[in-house]
A and B are shown apart, each in its own frame.
Chain A
Amino acid sequence: MSVTTQPQQGTATKSLREYFSPPLIALILAVLLFFAGGLINPNFVNTAQAINIVRLAAFLGIIAAGQTLVIISGGEGIDLSVGSVVTLAAILTYGLSGGENGMIWLGLIAAVAAGGIIGLVNGLGIALLRIPPLVMTLGMTGVVQGTILALSQGEVLGGTPPAMRQLIAEPLFLGLPGVLVIWLLVGVGMWLLLERTTYGKQLFAIGVNRTAARFSGVPVQRVAVLTYVFSGMLAGFGGFVLLGFSQTVFLQLGNNYLFPSIAAVVVGGTLLSGGKGSYWGTMSGALVLTLIDSLLRAAGLDEAYQLMVFGVILLALIIVYGRQRSLRQ
């Protein structure tokens, strides 16, 4: 084909901004940050540490996958219930499997199904009743936390199946922990979902402009509801995977992943206003956030300074590529 043999016109005039897309910047930043860690602490730069950081990033990355879909869907889309869904899913897996390898499947099904049901309620409230996503998912967070308390009554009997630890936290092959393989599979799955399915095309369409999408025949409400269902299911799966790492459950297990999941999406260049974004951006964003966190720990700073520096860096990242267009145009 002539198209492939001839250089495309205009590539030479492409601006730097187009070459360095936000996901790529985030990825370069992650690599630079890692080696910057060596300056602070020479023991920071080695393979074991690199694997450890990617492993920590994997949990955030899997949990942030659903958040990516919700934010791309636009309409002020945001899912504040992911933290509590992660906790619920981990507790369900812990309780239902009872630490038996043979019962892992039950835990997995329960974790994903519970997340899906919570996502369905979120989606119906947002798409049909037109409750703002922030409010709806915030309200659901309370309901899920209440459900956890009512289910557990203060103590959860159960255990983590040993096979989960082996498959997720421990080296699977070449010294790489299984969660990396899982994350890679999630990444491929998300890429296929976003780029190769009708749902993916429709998702971007409703993110850009819901009215236009409706006129061009996109079932806007169905796609929106489905997006929150996916988000819940992915958060549920994230909770299942997280249990293999944490080995134990407590009421705040997933809370620390809620806002980082949003930050990872934004740092990865997905627009909070919707319609534009990618999962590999979110993966890079998760790496950057985890690296910054590990770096601050490695630097041996007090928690107070860690918090302040993290806040400043996050603000700087948002300033670099989270800016909205000017009113004066």
Chain B
Amino acid sequence: MNSVKLQRFLSHNTYVVSLVLLVVVLAINYAFQNNVLELRIINNNLRTLLPLIILAVGQSIVVIGGGVDLSVGTMVSMINTLLVTWITPESSAGDVALALLLACGAGVLAGAVNGIAVAYLRLQPIVTTYATSFIFSGIALWVLPRPGGSLPTDMVRFYRSLPFEIPLGFYVIVILIVFWRLLRNTRYAQYLYAVGSSSEAAYSTGVPVTLVRVSTYVWSGLFAALAAIALTLSTGSGQANLGDAMTLNSVVAVVLGGTGLSGGQGGIAGAIIGVLTLGVIRNIIFFAEVPTWFQTLINALVILAALAAPALGRFIRQAVRR
């Protein structure tokens, strides 16, 4: 492959560099933790990472459309409190199905509020979604003032299961990627990338910019609901701030996956790889027996280095050329 072709390949598949990074960190992880590739360990890790993976997929869609959603974590918290209020250990399968459906509806509704505020009222995404995050936090605390709740044991067991000897999380990731492949081939996806790269140009060529923008936040709300379902299954209980800390990690995962915050570029595969990379880095630091008090610092430095790596490479290339 010559360099022009390689460059084109990389610009169309922004996740490739991130994938290389993931393989490298996974190899390092293997050196410290020999059983990391055992099915049981993969299942454990995927189970903890799955909520963030789903959430980061929603965040990617917003970022590709040129925005950012800082309310995703509080949406997860809000829907988590709703789920544990609607579902009790005695709930029938029908009740559970209805609760899950309502949860998705709540996510779509919350996302629509964000989308309408950002797109129709033309407000800045960062402060707008910051403001709505208070509303979602308030609702979460109102629904569930004290941590608690529990789920039917069958549901929790299902989340831990390995259907056909493959971790459940793996199926979810495959479904997410298939969903994205199908979406990529639609006109909607073309509009999404057009709005993200230049909303003025998109508008002048007849793209329904406002509608597309609203839709990105609706997707984000829906994926936050799905992430909340996964998180609730993982923890088995509810707490009014359970998902709050996931917001910033979802943004970091998206960027680690090669999707630029300026919009119009990237995909969801990168976000999934980004979350996996974050998880593996945390594993390495744990198993490398880094002193407890230094773990956060090392973790943050590695993440910062990973975030800076593409920019650093570009900077060095430019410096060499000069």
Binding site for B on A (CB under 8 A): 76, 78, 125, 128-132, 134-136, 138-143, 145-147, 149-150, 152-154, 259, 262-263, 266, 272-273, 302-312, 314-315, 318-319, 322-328
Contacts and interface: CB of A to CB of B under 8 A. Distances in A.
Given A143-B297, A308-B142, A327-B209, A263 B130 contact: yes
Nearest to B70: A259
A266 B261 contact: no
The secondary-structure label for the interface of chain A is helix
B142 A262 contact: no
Contact of B297 (A149, A315, A323): A149
B9 interface: no
B20 interface: no
Contacts of B138: 303-311
B300 interface: yes
9 contacts: A134-B126, A139-B307, A146-B294, A304-B138, A308-B135, A311-B138, A314-B127, A323-B121, A324-B123
Contacts of B312: 129
Given A272-B127, A307-B134, A311-B131, A138 B252 contact: yes
B127 A142 contact: no
A150 to B, nearest CB: 5
Given A146-B298, A305-B138, A307-B134, A139 B252 contact: yes
Interface string B239-276: 00000000010011001000011100000000000000
A309 B135 CA distance: 7
Contacts of B139: 304, 308
B128 interface: yes
Given A132-B262, A307-B135, 4 more contacts: A263-B131, A302-B145, A315-B135, A318-B128
Interface in B193-216: 199-200, 203, 209
Given A135-B251, A140-B304, A315 B132 contact: yes
B12 interface: no
B44 interface: no
Contacts of B304: 139-140, 142-143
Contacts of B251: 134-135, 138
B123 A319 contact: yes
A306 to B, nearest CB: 7
Interface in B266-297: 293-297
Interface string B303-316: 11001100110110
Most buried by B among A134, A305, A309: A134
A314 B200 CA distance: 28
B141 A322 contact: no
A311 B133 contact: yes
Contacts of A318: 123-124, 127-128, 131
Contacts of B303: 139, 142
Interface of B: 68, 117, 121-124, 126-128, 130-139, 141-142, 145, 199-200, 203, 209, 248, 251-252, 255, 260-262, 293-301, 303-304, 307-308, 311-312, 314-315
A310 B68 CA distance: 21
The 4 nearest A-B residue pairs measured at CB: A146-B297, A311-B134, A142-B300, A308-B138
B127 A131 contact: no
Nearest to A140: B304
A323 B122 contact: yes
Nearest to B301: A143
B320 to A, nearest CB: 15
A139 B135 contact: no
A150 B311 contact: no
Contacts of B262: 76, 132
Nearest to B240: A304
A277 to B, nearest CB: 13
Contacts of A140: 304
A266 B117 CA distance: 16
B135 A324 contact: no
B131 A315 contact: yes
A121 to B, nearest CB: 9
Given A315-B117, A327-B200, A146 B134 contact: no
A15 to B, nearest CB: 20
Contacts of A326: 122
B117 A145 contact: no
Contacts of A307: 134-135, 137-138, 141
Contacts of A125: 308, 311
Nearest to A263: B127
A209 to B, nearest CB: 16
A149 B135 contact: no
A259 B142 CA distance: 22
Contacts of B142: 302, 304-305, 308
B312 to A, nearest CB: 6
A253 B178 CA distance: 44
Nearest to A319: B121
Most buried by B among A125, A135, A154: A135
Nearest to B256: A135
B311 A130 contact: yes
